[in-house]
Structure formats: structure tokens, C-alpha cells
Structure 1
Amino acid sequence: MGDERVSTNVLDTQGKRAVGTRLVGPAHTSIFKEGLSFRGEAPILGHVYLTAYDPIRDKNGAIIGALFVGVKKSTFQEHFNQVKSPIILMLVVLLGFVGIVAFLLLKITRKLESTEATNLNFLRTLIDTIPTPIFYKDEKGRYLGANKAYEAYVGMAQDEFVGKSPSDLWPQELAEEYQNQDQWLFENPGVQIYEGSIVTADGTQHEVIFHKATFYSRYGAVAGLVGIILDITERKCAEEETQRAYRQLNDIIEFLPDATFVVDKDKRVIAWNLAIEKMTGVAKESILGKGDYAYAEPFYGVRRPTLIDFIDKDETELRANYDYVQKNGRTIFAQVTLPALGNHDTRFVSSTASPLLDVYGNHVGSIQSIRDLTENRRESVEKSKLNAQLHHSQMMQSVMIQLGHDLKTPLTPLIALLPIITGQLSDPQLKRMVDICWGSARQINELTNKTLDFAALSSMSASVERQDILLAASVDALLARQFKGVSCENLIASDIVVLAEPHLLDEILTNLISNAVCFSPSHETVQITAEQTVEFVTVAVRDNGIGLAPQHLECIFDEFFKVDESRHDLAMSGLGLSICKKIVFNQKGKIWAESSGLGQGSTFFFTLPRNVNK
């Protein structure tokens, strides 16, 4: 190929393609001598062309030809002159349009800038009027600004913290916490709320809640964060004070003597004291936090409303569930009989329920206390019985005294005259009949005396005439006086002393020994023993007689009680043991009987006090 034209659209003077002609001029020099492309005017066959030449290389990089693109300059000028005017007109119109658009854009931009400045000023004023501290940072955690409340809160002006990081402003521990939280928020864009601390203008550290959120650039990238600070120092103090008050209240409730529990506004158990644990057998660990009437189950066996659930409810429903109801404002007092459950018999309880209110008067919970009145009620019933018995006894005493005096009047001449009449009679049969009358009169007289003694003892209070008595010596003297020829064994230690009235002590011993002798087989020995403690001496009279059935051990001290037919002896008044009981009671002691059963003998015990002041 070389510089010879082998293919071209350039025509020679004869109008044929100029194949075979050679490339000359600056294009030849640039291509074949310098190895560079050529752009510009070049002469071709006597004419000037606007040309572009690029070298053609073989596989080894050697230049073997050139590629030509071009047009006659005269032809280009002719065509350009034809379109020049319309192009110029178009450019003028275009420039005018661009000018108008530029003017409008400038005007709009200025208006937008003015509006934006107004809006920014409004936002700045708005933020500054918010009393809550607000700050904002860039994406690197450096402060961009804050409102007036923040400046006042931390005691720093904007120029003191803008552009700075937390480590430039705060103690190391706080700064590390702030940076860690900021970093987490940048890695997890959105909203962040947490409790922390901050050093305020007065140098003290306050407890606060941080509310922070990320904001974005116009391209959607995280551009920084905005934070709001809520000071909760006073709330924390109030919460601690509330917790302290709650603990104190809980401690008070814990040791209240009445069974007590407390529920919150959702009826969940929040307090269950020691007394209610003991009453129900339910430990607080197993019921605290439970709702759905769980507190009723230990009392009723099922979950159901209790008194605490009737606060502010219809009184008709309340009275339908309780034996007795009394209301004082919103506090309810009631009494009810609880069913027998587990190891508990039926119980009669009183209960008080009252609402718990906060400082604003809102109902935040309720408290209920329960007191077991079963024993009180039983004692009340027993007291009523005792009062009735006392009234009956007083009536009987009055009747007995009156009857005794009435009997004494006719008996006195009979007892005095019948022995005289007997001495003047010679008819043995008539004399025997008079002796029977005299014996009957003496029995009636003895019964009358016993009745009057019993009546006197019933109205007698504790004696003030008691004295120290050597018990063994007193028993010996009594046996020598009244029980000659009777087999009695005094086993009382000689140094035992009791505090009693001598004649009343003799009365007790006489009745008990007489009973033992009367109901023992002939030649059986009656034993009298005694044991002493610090305050009392217990005396025992033991026989090997007919014994007592278990059901008679208490009844034998009742007035006129006789165990069996063998005791329906006219010579026995049926008041001896009753008199013993009255005497022992008046001497500050007690009396009882023991027996292994019929035919096993009996032992009668009574106690008398010792003189502990000596």
C-alpha cells in the first residue's frame, strides 16, 4: 500500500477516482515519517481539503497505509453559508430563552432562600421556646447546636460546644457512654430511648431520659441525630421515697396481729402477712403476684369475690354474702361464717376492707384484714350459759336459804322434844316408832345445815382469813376426832404447809374421807398423800372402793348428784362433794377425781396454795 491511493472517493481532473495517485504534504509527513494521526487542511490534486488521516498498521505495528476522511473546503464553505443565518437566529432565540430562565431561576432562588431563612429562623425560635433541653449532632457525633434550654441546663453557650465531641466536654465515663449510644443509633437508624446521667450547670449529676432520633440528608444518608433530655431526678427521688414508704408499709402489714393482705388495682396480691400465712397455711411466696380471686381460695376453697371485691359495689349483693355488714364511707366491716376446709373446722370471722388511694385520690389497690372470732364467739356462748347458770344458781340459793330457815323453825322443837318423849315411853313398839321419827328429824336437820352451808359458800368470795397450816398434823387431828376405828393412813410429809382456813380444810377432808370410807369394802385402808410445787400443794384421798365410770368424773361435783342406787342412802345429802368444790374454789384451788373404772377404786385430788410470800 504505502503512500499510493488504492481506494478513494477523491476525483481527478477527468472526473475519475484518483486511484494510483500519491499522498503528499503535511499529512504524508505526519503519517509515514512521524507515525501520528493528522487533522487539518491538506492539498489533494490541486484542491484544499478539510481532512483527517489515521495510520494503518500491520500485526507487527509497522505503518502500511493511511485511512482518509475529508471534504473540499470550498464545498464545506458553500453548505455552511447556506445554514449560517438560521443557526445564528436559533442561537439568539436560545440565548434569550436561557436568559429568561436564568432570570426566573434567580428570582425563585432568592425567594426560596428568603423563605428558607424565614423557616429556619422560625424553627430556631420554636426550638428555643421549648423548655425541654434539645441538642443535635452531625454523623460523627459532634455537636451542631442546641436550644436555649439546653444551654441553661448544662451551663454552656453554643460556641463552647458546637463542633466538639462528647470527649471534649464531659467526664470520661459519661463521654464514653454518650459516644457508645450515638454509635449504636448511627448503626441502627431510628429512635433511641434510654436512661442516663448528665452534669448540669450547677455541677451536680442528674438522672435523665434521652430521647434521640436520626435525621437524613437529601440523598437519604444519615446526617446526624437530634436529642431531647427529660430530667427525672425528682421522679427518681419520688420513686425511691415511694419504695421506701412501701417497704415501711409492708413491714407494718407484715407484723400486724390480724391476718392481712393487699391487692393492686388489677386485684393481684402484693402483700400477704405472717398472720394470714398462719391462718391459711399458704406461704406468701406461693400467692404473691396472683390474681383472679386467688386470695379467696384459702378461705372458701374456690376462687370467688371476697369483701375486698365489694368495695364500691351494690350493698344488696354485699349483704347477701355476709351475716353482718357495716359501711363507713368506702370502708366495709363484715362478719361471716367460713366453711370447714382441710384441717380447719367452721370458722366465724370478722373482716375489714378498705381502698388504697394515691396522692391524687385514685384507687390504686385495696387492703383487707381478717380476725378469727371463733373462740370469742364460743366464749361468748359459754359466758351466756354461765350467766344463765349463775342466775339459776342465785335463784336456787335464795330458795335453799329460805327453805332452810323455814325447816329450822319446826325442826328445832322436834329435835329437842322427841328424845324427852322417848324417855317417858314404856311401850317398846311405840318407843321404836318415836326413835325413827327422831332419826328422820336429825337427817332433815343435817340436810338443812348442809344446804345452808352450801348456800353460804356459793355467795362467799375468797377468804382473807387464811393462815398457814401444817397439813400432816391437821389430818392427824381430824382422824383422831372423827374417824376413830377407821383404817386411814396419813402419808403426808410433816413439813408441808398449806394456806387455808382451818375449819374449811377440815370440812373438805371430812367429806372426802367419809366418801372414801363409805364406798370402800370393810377393813380397806384409805390413804391420804400430798405433793408440793412452788405455788401449790396437791392433796390426794385414795380408796379401793367401787370406783367411778368415766362419764361420772365431772358430774359427781354437781349438787345432789348420786352415782348409783347404793348412794341413795338417806343419810347422804348429795351435797358433800359440791361443798368441797365451793370451798376449794374459794381457797384459790381446784378439785377433781380420777378412777380406772368401776371396781377400781377412786382418788380425789384438790390443790391449795402455799404462802409464797414467806
Structure 2
Amino acid sequence: MVFPEPAEEDPIQADYGIIDWNDGKKPMEIQAVQDAALPGYRKSISVLYVDDDPDLLDICKLFLEESGGILVDTIPLAPQALERLASARYDAIVSDYQMPGMDGIAFLKEIRARFGTVPFILFTGRGREEVVIEAYENGADLYLQKGGDPGAQFTELERKIRLVVDQRRIRTELVESQQRVADIIDFLPDATFAIDLEGRVIAWNRAIENLTGIPKEGIMGAGSFSYALPFYGERRPILIDLVLRESRETEEKYQNLRRKCDKVIADAYVRSCNGKSGICLWAIASPLRDSKGRIVGAIESIRDVTDQKQIEESLRQTNKKFNLLNNITCHDILNQLTALLGYLDLTGERLTDPETRGFLENVILAADKIQSLIRFSRYYHDLGADAPEWQNLREVCMKAIHGCEGVTVAYPPGDLDIYADPMLEKVIYVLFDNALCHGKHVTEITFCLKEPEPGNGVTIVMEDNGAGIPDDEKEKIFGRGYVRDSSLCLFLVREILLITGITIRETGTWGKGARFEIRVPPGGFRFISSV
């Protein structure tokens, strides 16, 4: 057989020249030569046609191969075809029904038993309904009855061959894709599982088997919140379910729960899991989507952070003790400085020599500086002493500014929570105190929100109608050495906010008022109405 040469306009011919595809080779061997010689060339479909009628074998082979892209091997008997299939692979098999020795149905059964799901088309003159039913019951992909116009008949056979091969390819690619995803999930270092929309477990990787002691075989396909049992000892919604449906009751069972785009992240404490007591878990859950972006389930990854939490708690206790010692020491030093300054004042009243009084005033200034630095260090050591927490912005502002007279305050909306250091109230107080102390004639302070941009967080604006801040000082005011009359400088304000990634800058106009923009990153805020 001679493989069809490329048409003159085919760029393959120009690139590779005319190749003698035949050289005495069988179609399957020809295809292998073609695939090796022309990388990227579309592979032909290899077909094994079995029929005891030699005329039909010849005419069918001629029609199919002239259609282009199909290579046909012909064999007259089914037992011979089975021998060939033991050493060669075909994309599709076409078989007659009535043949000596083994009919098409028996041949089909052998193929399914020995060679799996290779596409099979029954091509026969027998059109009885029971034959068609039996063929489909035993795994035939399609059925085509012989007879009628030969051209139309073989054109339809060609169409069916291409159809079953494409369907097989799509199924194979889908299975391979699903297997790749399953393998990725299975070998993830974090304990991971997935559920479908009905809550049935569809993935349970090795890491979660080790964490829970539950083998994959014991939970795959299980529903009714079975995945909660290893962690909580009861069937109930957990973090993964919050991806598919919101529940305030479920959210309240977690610590530090936050949403980032379509993901839900939280910490959890588990009393017992797989024989281990007192486990701290970090978990993240997100939707599973199909190729069209539709949600078809959810996936959750869990990490045992018990050791990390214990280290954090040890550091917290160490810092607490250190801060206590620091506060006691600072308190004692401040008491001594107060006494020292008092004695210096009394000494100054008794000195008459101007030069000596000048020296004494320098000593008093140095003591004041030491006193200011010690107060600064006391506040600085409080940074990060306690874990960040969710705080309602309006409530924090009202506590910080409570009792102020002579200034009209427009508070922020009441539905915004911020994840920040517990010293957030001190931050608001300092900003307010700075406005009163240095704004000269402040009578109005307004809090508002800039329109949040998708993926860019939310910006809180605090502005007043005072004197404002000169352009050349807008960044200097956040410097460590820039301490005016406030007990807590803006340097520490910035440091407190940065603990949870919050930034602050001054954008007001000199002469018209100060304006502070506080930007909270994604995941660091939530609107109560959407929780």
C-alpha cells in the first residue's frame, strides 16, 4: 500500500520532500514512520477491519484510506484478528457480525475481556433488533447496517469511525486530567480533602490519612458531614462548607476567620484527633470549579500548627515577662527622675550665679529627654504583645474619642470590622489628640471610607478642618525622632498598624486640614452584613 503523498501546496512537502511511505510496511508500521518523520503532523487513525467477505475488505479499505487520515488493516477471521491485537494497537475496530468460527458478538466479548475499551463498530448486513441490542449490551460503541449506496455507506462508516475515536480520545484525556489532579492532591504536603455539591467526599489525600487515621477507602463517597467526625467527633458543617453556603453559627466555631476573595481561612482548636490531644489547626478552603467556571464542589487544606502555636505562646509569655520587668524598671526610673527633677528645681531656686544656673538648665533638659525616651520605650515594648483581633471600627473610634467636647465627629460606618493589633484604639486616640493639639482650630473630624477597589483592600480616611501639615513634613511626622507634645508619636502609630499590614499616610492640604489615609489590605477587613 502507498500512503497518500502530501498535496503540492502542503508545506510538509516543501519542508521534508516526498517520502516513500510504503516500502513494504503494514499500515501500523507506516503510521509509526510518519509520526517519527513528521513531528507535529496529525496522526492518522489506525483501523482493524474484520470481515469474511474479501471484496468488502478491499472496497472498504480503499474508501476509508482515500478519505485521508485513516489507515486500515484487514483480516478475514476474528481469531486471526485477536492474534493481531495481541501485538498491535488500533484506534478502532470495525467488524462484521456473521463470520465462520467466531461471530462479531463473540469477537466483541473477547476484545472487551482482553483489550479493554478500544472503540468497536459492528458493521453488518444483519439488521435484527436483537443483534443490535446484544451488541450494545456487550460494549459496542456504534452499529451500522450494510446495504444501500456504497458511497453513502462508507462515508457514514468513516464518520462513525472518526466519532468513536474522538469520543475515546476525549474520555482518555478527561480520565488522565482527573488522574493528574488526583495525583497532585494526593501528594500535597498539607492534609487535603474535597467534596462535591452534595457534600460527598471526592478526594482524601495521604497527608489527611496520616492526620486523621482514616484511610481513603473508608471515607470516599461518604456524605452527611462524615469528614467532620475525625476532628470534632460529630457530624456538622466545618470550614469547607462555608465555601458553599454561609453560616454564622459555623463561623463562630473558628478563631481568626477571614475571607480572601473566594477563600475562607481560619484557625481551629481540636480536642482530640487520631489519638493526639490538644491540636491547633490552620485551614484554608476554596471552591472547586469546572472548565466553565461553575462551582462543582469545595476543597480544604489543613495544617497542624500545634508546635508553631506553642512556640508563639512561649515567646508571648517571655515577652510578657520581659515587658513586665521593663515596665517595673521604667516605672522606678521615672520615679527617680521625677525626684531628681524636683531637687534640680529646688537647687535652681537657690543658685544666684548665672553661669551655674545655665549648666543646671542643661541638666534639667537632659533629664527631660531621658524621661521622654523612657516613656517612648514603654509604649514600644507593648507592640505585638497581644495577638491581633477583629475590631469594629466605629466602636473603636467612639471609645477612643469618648468625652470630647467642642469638636463635631462624623464616625465611620458601623458594619466594618478590621483585623488589627489591640492597640488600634490607642492609634485612633493619638490621631485625634494630634489633630486637637496641632490643628490649632479644629472643630470637625470626619471618618469615611474610600470606594474599595477589587483586590486592593479598603481605605479609611480621617480628616479635620484644622491647619493641616506642611508638604515637607508629611513623611517626617512618621519618623522616630519626630515627637511633639503627644505621649505616643506617629512613628508608633505606623508601627502598630503595620503589625497586620495596615499602612498610613498623610494626604491633606496645608492650611485646609490634615487627612490621614489608612489602607487595610485584602483579608484584613470584613463587612458585618456580608459575614
Pairwise TM-score range, normalised by the shorter structure: 0.3 to 0.5
User: Normalization by structure 2: what TM-score?
Assistant: 0.36
TM-score, length basis structure 1: 0.32
Considering only CA atoms, is the larger Rg found in Structure 1 or Structure 2?
Answer: 1
